[in-house]
Structure 1
């Protein structure tokens, strides 16, 4: 297997220059960079990651911790993270906690700072104190898709205004004449989707309606959870003309429940979700949803984490206060109207 030194000889540069080209660091002229890349291709050189990690004292990888890789949103987010990392010469490790804090803690203990030089956390049900301890051990942490930009978590994060997303979803249903709207929340009462439901309540109140009086059920954030909740709501409140759901998976389940109950979507029942996963575009009818800037959030999270990594080490203590206060807010969610919503049947 060719070595880095052999690449340097072939390109007529120093090993340090080859290393800078591989890591996209340092000042390397374009002509020199091309010579190095050509030498790499000619020799078939591949970096030896364990050796690189040993030499640099850190691995060229980033860990992404998620609560359930079975949720289709997380692979979509992971792909956006991976694309952003590849442009920076880094690799991605995905850690699936299955919503178990002990599993997440084990990942942090075994991976952070050794197999990965930093950690991105996406709704992985981890204790914030464990994440702070991970930072103190030298592996910066960034929370992804934090749902309340106005209420920062005390850790570096990328936030999305999900309260606005809930408000936009409710406003869309109200604009179609719906007044009897049920709500399906894909988390516990004070769980991660609470801000989305708060936005729904805000919009209902602004329209002169008592949003809190609308029937609501809390359910697992799954298609099955949405199916069961929708059946229960629609049987108990047959006069409902629309369902607001806090995520796309429960919304898809709600549409399945409506079909099984003989309720046409959208002529008899409108359904709206939040996020805009690929399945929302492929379902029939296609799901109306409030899209969130997934790719932008992933790129901001990578950018912030790599910045924290670069300022770690000797400058870590001096930058600690600045790091804790870092909150990057994405662009706003926006409505994507499709076929699952229409005018209220009694409007």
Structure 2
């Protein structure tokens, strides 16, 4: 006869120690324990040590939702990105997380897949409740939605804004991507390349427009007509770069170099070149922009223009903290001009994917 096994009774849940219990154990007031945890107020070293020993002895851990309710602010920051599948965004997210650790805050990553409706839903559900503020990285969000988020008490900072001389009217950290495009194109021109194709990883007036403007500026400075350079607007992915490069090289087999506005399309372009029988860099030079980790790991390693990813993340976190602190003051940020922080200039990183034009 088959019997049903008897399960042991569930273990009784042990109650977590409270702040009040820590205070009694240390012989101090709950306010003193709170000051020690937040590193605020004047607490003598002996008292501080006694509180820390009590916390360790009892295994006390702060209850983050309760703290947020008591302090009137959420313990997290939201980072909204267009596609977590793009390696640049996890690298930026890691830099943001490192910058947040010193304040005891946590990071929530919101992947919009470039869909403004998804982004709006994130803003409505997270900003100001789960997150004290929002960092936005190319998430295809409507600026009116971002301004409404600010009015609701959750400051917003745009990260990696690509046009420092054209501020968006929202607080932002800007990087001179026009200069990045200029540096990439100038490198190819200085190597003797004149038949250069361009792959832009956005629509004509999309987020990579400033990078292409830099390409045009470099061409014109060298006395070359940028209109003669074959151009394709592609999806900002490895696959997009592959398809665009394959089309360019098939239609224009005399090209000796490809300028791409991002590293992923550049890596795809090198794959397409190999499939079509072009040897990189002997027959075809390829240059990208941003310097993601994969750029140095590809074979050949990709020549690219590095942007200050870590610095931009740190500036974004610092600016958002400043805005969060000011949001609770009378009047908040209303009526103030949106602050723009400009990160360090991009710089060229020469690797194995570019070489002087073959004679």
The normalised TM-score by structure 2 is 0.91
Question: Matched residues in 2 for 1:115 and 1:21: separation?
Answer: 24
Question: Matched residues in 1 for 2:227 and 2:33: separation?
Answer: 62
Q: 1:170 aligns with which of 175, 185, 196?
A: 185
| Structure 2 spans left out of the alignment, 5+ residues | 1-15
SS at match of 1:196: helix
1:314 deviates by 3.4
Question: Matched residues in 2 for 1:257 and 1:65: separation?
Answer: 32
Cα 1:82–1:228 shift into 2, 3 Å: same
Alignment of 1:196-345 (within 5 A): 196-317=211-332, 319-322=333-336, 324-345=337-358
Question: Matched residues in 2 for 1:134 and 1:234: separation?
Answer: 46
The normalised TM-score by structure 1 is 0.95
SS at match of 1:177: coil
Q: Deviations over 1:215-250 (max 9, x none)?
A: 110011000000000000011111111101000000
Partner of 1:43 in structure 2? 58
1:127 deviates by 0.3
1:44 deviates by 2.1
Q: Deviations over 1:32-89 (max 9, x none)?
A: 6555444433332221111111112221111110111111100110011111111111
Partner of 2:139 in structure 1? 124
Cα 1:307–1:239 shift into 2, 3 Å: same
1:9 deviates by 4.2
Cα 1:52–1:215 shift into 2, 3 Å: same
Cα 1:287–1:38 shift into 2, 3 Å: farther
Alpha carbons 1:180, 1:214 under 8 Å: kept = yes
Alpha carbons 1:82, 1:92 under 8 Å: kept = yes
Question: Matched residues in 2 for 1:190 and 1:33: separation?
Answer: 57
Check if 1:158 corresponds to 2:176.
Answer: no
Cα 1:118–1:226 shift into 2, 3 Å: same
Question: Considering only CA atoms, is the larger Rg found in Structure 1 or Structure 2?
Answer: 2
Question: Matched residues in 1 for 2:133 and 2:226: separation?
Answer: 42
Q: Deviations over 1:120-175 (max 9, x none)?
A: 10011000000000000000000000000000000000000000000010111111
